[in-house]
Every structure is written in structure tokens, then in C-alpha cells.
């Protein structure tokens, strides 16, 4: 079945970035000249996704407004002859159809994904975590997962090789290797002690689920922090032999962390077609103490 829909859980309070996120959704924090959320939706669109379902909460309307028409701005840009900016603003509303659903209480990532059940329907879908950026314009991470699904017909999650000091940061998996990059997930543990991690492969930021994940979420009791963890639902499906993993290709930035956010800005600023060369000179000058 063709994968048409993506879910972006974006209902959180963004407490790691206070006070910046007191009145602005963390998903709208800029990386150079685009908000983080735009990078996510551009990745989905580049992967062939037609509809993005944003799981949101009260006070985060800016996320949807960013992708809506703004006639007064477009008229002003047109009068001033700023054609390139006008085209960029208009392009935003053509990327994907945007749908929103509400998560009324912060009950965890698994619960947030479950809130999208009616909007998703009986279809496979991808999930992108909006504070986790993966740069691979030639082969987007979502598309990589979709290709694995096309081959094996099962849910598949993105994996990274995890340093020992980070083993307690992620859901860590027990697996059987299929290819150099693809594994069959046999079991997983959410944020284990390093001594209890079943391997050094951790689940991160991109998921592709068949619709039976919703039943697994419903059957999952609250776990760490009293939240419904998506890792526990993944574990259920893995124990039933229905979960794959992919060590994806691309450069990843945890933009939900302050240092990771700055790293993402540095990375994308150096790549920027207009600012890149000047920014490189500025960064080199600053590093030399100039």
C-alpha cells in the first residue's frame, strides 16, 4: 500500500528551551531562516508524503499558520518585486496537506501518536519527531524507511549506532541482522542502564508503522515517567515478529537539545547558498579569537 501520510507529534511544552519557548512553539525555532518544523515537512514532501498530521496542543497555532496563505504579505512582496521570497512563501502551502489533531494531556510519545489514529485510518504511515533533524537531501530518511517497508511489508524504525555513554538515552534493541543496514528487531528496552542494553543500536526520530501499532499503543500501560512510551508498543510488535530496523544514512542533529540546536544551525548555515561562504569566514575568524 502506498504510504501517503505522516504524523508529527508536536504537542510538547518545549521546557528544555525556556524562556525562548514560553510564547513560541519550539518547533518554530529557526535554523538559519526556516523553522525546524518546515525542515520536517520538507523531508516528508520530498519522500512522497501527501498529508502531514500534526499532533498539537493549545497555544501552538503558529505551526499551522506558517503553512497557510497570508495575502497581505504576498501582496506586499509582489508590489516590491521580491519574486524569490514570494515564491518561497507560496511554496509553503503546496508542500503537503496539513491536518491537526489535539493531544489534550502530555501522556507520552506513544499516546501522542495514538491521538492521530482517526486521521491516519487503516493505512501505514511515517512518524517524524520534530526536534530531530536528519540531513540527506539526496535520499531523505523517511524515504529510506519507506523503501524498506516496500521490500519487507513490515513496520520499520530508524536506528543509530550508539556510544556507550548514550545507551541510556534511547530505546535499545535486540536484533537479528538481515543486511548491513537492515535488521529484524526481536526486543527492545526503553532507556536501559548501559549494562542492561541488549546491543548498541538505538531507536531514533523516524518511524514507519503499519496501522496495527495503534492497537499495541492501546495495550501499552504507562511506563517510565508515567507516560505511554512508543518503545513499549514497538516491543509488543517486535515480540510478535513484526518490526524491522534500518541504520539510516544521513547526518543527524538533536535540535531539542541546546548544543544540538547550535550544531544544526552551524551545519545548515555553512550549507546556505547565500550565507554559507560569509558565515564560514565569520566562524573561522571567531575561532581564531578575532
Give the position of cell 548514550: 166
pLDDT at residue 290, rounded to an integer: 56
Residue 259: is its pLDDT beyond 70?
Answer: yes
Share of the chain above pLDDT 70, in %: 99
Q: What is the pLDDT at residue 1? A: 76
Round to whole Å and give the CA distance between 83 and 25. Answer: 29
pTM for the whole structure? 0.93
Domains and CATH numbers, the chain: 5-256 (3.90.550.10), 261-290 (no CATH)
Q: What are phi and psi of 158, to 5 degrees?
A: -80, 140
Which H, E and C letters describe 235-272, residue by residue? Answer: HHHHHCCCEEEEECCCEEEECCCHHHHHHHHHHHHHHC
Give the three-class secondary structure for 234: helix
Name the residue with cell 539526496: 138
CB of 52 closer than 8 Å to CB of 8: yes
Per-residue pLDDT tens digits for 4-18: 999 999 998 888 888
Judged against a pLDDT cut of 90, whether residue 204 lies above it is answered with yes
Which residue carries 523553522 as its cell? 35
What's the pLDDT tens digit per position in 267-283? 999 999 999 999 999 99
SS3 label, residue 227: coil
H/E element holding 189? strand 182-190
Q: What is the mean pLDDT of residues 234-260?
A: 94
Helix (H) or strand (E) holding 285: helix 276-287
* pLDDT-derived band at 223, boundaries 50, 70, 90: confident
* CA distances in angstroms from 277 to 39, 135, 271, 274, listed in the order given: 22, 19, 9, 7
User: Confidence class of residue 131 from pLDDT cuts 50, 70 and 90?
Assistant: confident
For residue 55, pLDDT over 90 is answered with: yes
Which of these, 176, 224, 234, 181, lies nearest to 203 by C-alpha position?
Answer: 234
Model confidence at 126: pLDDT above 80: yes
pLDDT confidence of residue 280:
93
If one compares 99 and 287, the residue with the highest pLDDT of the two is 99
pLDDT, one tens digit per residue, over 168-191 is 988 999 999 999 999 999 999 988
Residue 286's pLDDT is: 87
Which run of H or of E encompasses 188?
strand 182-190
Rounded mean pLDDT of the chain?
93
pLDDT of residue 288 exceeding 90, the answer is no
C-alpha distance across the termini of the chain, in Å = 57
Task: Categorize the per-residue pLDDT at 106 as very low, low, confident or very high, splitting at 50, 70 and 90.
Answer: confident
More confident residue, 214 or 23: 214
* pLDDT, tens digit (0-9, with 9 covering 90-100), for 153-162: 999 999 999 9
Amino acid at each position: 500500500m502506498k504510504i501517503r501520510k505522516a504524523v508529527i507529534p508536536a504537542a510538547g511544552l518545549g521546557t528544555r528551551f525556556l524562556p525562548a519557548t514560553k510564547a513560541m512553539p519550539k518547533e518554530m525555532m529557526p535554523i538559519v531562516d526556516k523553522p525546524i518544523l518546515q525542515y520536517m515537512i520538507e523531508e516528508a514532501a520530498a519522500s512522497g508524503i501527501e498529508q502531514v498530521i500534526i499532533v498539537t496542543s493549545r497555544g501552538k497555532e503558529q505551526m499551522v499558520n506558517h503553512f497557510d496563505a497570508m495575502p497581505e504579505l504576498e501582496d506586499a512582496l509582489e508590489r516590491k518585486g521580491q519574486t524569490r521570497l514570494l515564491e518561497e512563501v507560496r511554496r509553503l502551502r503546496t508542500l503537503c496537506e496539513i491536518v491537526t489533531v489535539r493531544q489534550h494531556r502530555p501522556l507520552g510519545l506513544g499516546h501522542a501518536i495514538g491521538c492521530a489514529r482517526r486521521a491516519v485510518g487503516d493505512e501505514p504511515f511515517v512518524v517524524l519527531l520534530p526536534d530531530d533533524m536528519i540531513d540527506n537531501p539526496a535520499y531523505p530518511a523517511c524515504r529510506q524507511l519507506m523503501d524498506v517497508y516496500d521490500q519487507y511489508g513490515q513496520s520499520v524504525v530508524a536506528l543509530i549506532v550508539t556510544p556507550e555513554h548514550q545507551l541510556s538515552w534511547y530505546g535499545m534493541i535486540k536484533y537479528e541482522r538481515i543486511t548491513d543496514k537492515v535488521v529484524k528487531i526481536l526486543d527492545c528496552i526503553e532507556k536501559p542502564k548501559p549494562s542492561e542494553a541488549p546491543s548498541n543500536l538505538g531507536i531514533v526520530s523516524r518511524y514507519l508503522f503499519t496501522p496495527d501499532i495503534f492497537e499495541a499503543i492501546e495495550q501499552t500501560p504507562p511506563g517510565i515517567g508515567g507516560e505511554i512510551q512508543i518503545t513499549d508498543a514497538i516491543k509488543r510488535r517486535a515480540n510478535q515478529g513484526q518490526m524491522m530496523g534500518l541504520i539510516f544514512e544521513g547526518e543527524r542533529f538533536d535540535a531539542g537539545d541546546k548544543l544540538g540546536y547550535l550544531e544544526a544551525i552551524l551545519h545548515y548555515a555553512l550549507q546556505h547558498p547565500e550565507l554559507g561562504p560569509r558565515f564560514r569566514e565569520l566562524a573561522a575568524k571567531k575561532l581564531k579569537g578575532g
